Amino acid sequence: MEKHALAALDASAREFHGDPDRIYLTGLSLGGYGTWSIAANNPGKFAALAPICGGIVRPVRGRQSAPEATSADPYAEAAKQIGSATPIWMFHGDADESVPVTESRKLLEALKNIGANVRYTEYPGVQHNSWDLAYNNPEFPTWLFAQRLRKK
Domain boundaries, the chain: 18-57+73-146
For 18-57+73-146, CATH number out of 3.40.50.1820, 3.40.50.1100, 3.40.50.720, 2.60.40.420 equals 3.40.50.1820
CB neighbour list of residue 102: distance below 8 Å, 6 or more residues apart? none
Percent of the chain with pLDDT over 90: 87
Assess whether pLDDT exceeds 80 at residue 66: no
Q: Is the pTM of this model over 0.85?
A: yes
Lowest mean pLDDT segment, chosen from 64-73, 78-87, 121-130: 64-73
As a whole number of Å, the end-to-end CA separation of the chain is 28
Residue 152 — pLDDT band, cuts 50, 70, 90?
low
For residue 150, the model assigns a pLDDT of: 75
Q: Comparing C-alpha atoms, which of 26, 30, 43 is closest to residue 78?
A: 43
Residue 58 — pLDDT band, cuts 50, 70, 90?
confident
Q: CA 72, CA 61: separation in Å to the nearest integer? A: 22
For residue 64, the model assigns a pLDDT of: 52
Residue 70 — pLDDT band, cuts 50, 70, 90?
low
